[in-house]
Every structure is written in structure tokens, then in C-alpha cells.
Amino acid sequence: MSADLGVSARRSIWTPFTILLLFGILLIAAVLSTPPPEPIPYDLNAAHARGLLGLRLWLEELGYDVQRMDGLRFTLPDDAVLIWIYPNQLTYLPGEAAALRAWVASGHTAVIVGPDAGDRALAETFGVRLAGESAFDRALVQTQPLIPDGAAEYEREWFMPAALLDLSDAPQAVPVLTASNRGTVAAVQRIGSGTVWHLAPGVDLTNGGLQESRQGDLLPAILRGVPDGATVAFDTYHLFGLSRAGERIATLQDWLYRTPGGWATLFALLAGALYWVLQGRRLGPPLVTVEQTRGRQAAEFVEAMANLHRRAREQAGLVRHQQRRLKFGLARRCALSPDLADDLFLDALAHSEPPLPESQLAAVRDLLRGLASQPGEHQLVQLAAAIDDLLQSPW
């Protein structure tokens, strides 16, 4: 039993260490196998080349109130005057595109980059989409004097293809910048009392475009009809969809749900809980009660030994053991020799000081006679129990 307790104790000690080791291995594997995150394009907080941190800070420095259009549903902010729409993960629904066109027609301004071929509702509503071809011209030419403070030409890297806009379904759209005679990269369109600026990807006022190719000349022209201090909104609902990309990790829940290390932690906790369930450990190891630690009674011992000796056909040894146990117990009390024969032992008990009571002496006589009569298994168990009662009773 002590060996079993030792094994159980060692198992209870090593179990937490095994779980911690498993968690560490999973965490290290997740970190080592996860590639570095790719830059998120059009992120308002990103400082890389395709981010919009520079544009957002510029608008805020000019005094505009920059907001995000996110949430569970697409809604146009009532107080916004200008909306920026970049290539998105969620495509516009026909009703959303119609609502945007009505919002622009009521006297507001929108800047739409693209849209790409997947956003059919937005392209069909405004009649402008990306063309299927690209240009490698070295310069972008200002075809209309809509950027009076800008240059007549803007140099660009010749080996980088320039996406072009298809204005065939929007005859009222006016080209602003063109790649020589190949196509338009920026155009402006009047809808009702409002204005829509259409920009091709690559001419979208990202951090790289503002820093390297002087795309900032477009911003004063876009803001020409926007009052000072007005609200400017970015459509982050369609831009990031339901992925929550671009949001900062600010809470432990964000870290658990949106990072590989958090996934590894959740998996390790799940594996540990499953291990404990399979091991049957809910509130710790069971406590051993007093009843479970109680030793065997003499009668139980005799019965067990009787079964063993019965199989070995050694019942005479059990009888001699019970005789010696009875005589030794009485001899210790009366200062007698336990090696006396039964008759002499009874006579010595009768003349002991103090003398043994007659009832006790008669009980001893009956026990010795019963043991001498070659008792059976059941009778031997009864005699052993009677010996226990006699030796434990006070005189």
C-alpha cells in the first residue's frame, strides 16, 4: 500500500510539470513556425509604405476630425463631409452603393480608390472601375488645371506598372492625371451637388506616395470644398471586414484570439483540461479516511489464514497458534507459564492470585476443549473470536 501511495505522490508531482512542458513546447513551436506578419495595406495607424498614417496625421493637423466607419453594420455618419474608400475585403452591396451615391448627391465628397473588379456594385453605381491594362510611363501628366499648385508632370518609377481607370461608363468624369496618352490614373466626377474623386491604386496618398512621388498635391484639391474642422471618415467597415485587421491589440482577449502565441495558450489550456478529465482529477487526489486505514481484526486475520492453511492442508498449525495465543494472553495477566499442559494450566489459573473468576475459568476450559477436539473451519473462526472477547474483557 505504501508503494502505491509513493507512485501516486510522484504522479501528482510530475503532472503539473508535464503540462507546463507541453505548453512551453507548443508556444515555442507556434512562435518559430509563424512567419512575420505582412504589412496591412491602408491601415490608418501603419507607418509602412502602404499605410495611411501620414494622411491621417496630416488631416488631423489641418484641424479635421478623423473618424472610422466600423461596427456591425455599414452606416454613413451624419456629421461627415468627406469619406475615403480604399480597396476592401468586403464588397459593397447594391443598397450600400446606392446609399453612398445619394449621400454624395446631397452635397458631400467621396474619394474612391479603384474599385477593383470584385466590387461590382460600387463600379456600376458610379460607372468607374479599374481597367484591365497597366502603363509603364515615366510621368503622370496633369490634364486639367484642377491642381493649380501642383506640377504639370509627376515623375514615377518606369519599371512599376501604373493601374489605370476605365471611365467609359462615366462620361461625366473628368481626367485629372493621365499616364501620357495611355489612360487615366485620377479623375473627378460631379454627382448632384457632391463630388467624387476616383484614384487608381498607386495614386492613393499612402505613406510611400506622399513621401516619394508628391501625391500630396492632390489633397488640397480634394479638400477644396470641405469646410475647415469638418468630420472626415474612412470606410474601415468594408476595408477590413470582419477580420478586425488594423486594430491594435489592447486587451488579453485580443492577444488570445488574434496572435499565434494566444492560440497556443488556448490550445495548451484545452489539452491540460482534457488530460485532467481523462485522469479523473476534479478536486485533487482522494483523501484516505480513518475507516480505510483501520487494521484487520484478529478474526479477519484468522479467517484469511484459515483459507490459506486449508488450501495447504495445515489446519493443525492454526489450532496450535490459537492455543498459544490464549495461554500467552492469560499467562501474562496471572504470571503463569504458557508452556503448561491444558489440565495443569487450568489448575494454575484456579489457584492464581487473584484467582480467576469461575465464569472466566469455565470459558477458558471450554475454549481449550474446543481447540483440542480438532474443530472445523467455521468452529475455529468462532473459537478465535471468543478468544478475542476473553482476552479483551476486564476481570
Model pLDDT for residues 200-255, shown as the tens digit of each residue: 988 899 998 888 777 888 899 899 889 999 999 999 888 865 444 445 555 667 66
pLDDT digits (tens, 9 = 90+) for 112-157: 998 877 789 999 999 999 987 776 677 788 887 777 677 778 777 6
Mean pLDDT of 70-88: 88
Query: Per residue in 344-356, pLDDT tens?
Result: 877 777 777 777 7
The answer to whether the peptide bond before residue 115 is cis (omega within 30 degrees of 0) is yes
Q: Which CATH architecture has domain 53-245?
A: 3-Layer(aba) Sandwich (3.40)
Q: What is the DSSP string of 341-378?
A: -HHHHHHHHHTSSSPPPHHHHHHHHHHHHHHHT---HH
- Nearest 5°: CA angle at 116, between 179 and 195? 70
| Nearest in space to 210 (alpha carbons), one of 66, 65, 59 | 59
Residue tagged 446606392 (cell numbers): 98
Q: Where are the domains of the chain?
A: 2-37+253-279, 53-245, 298-392
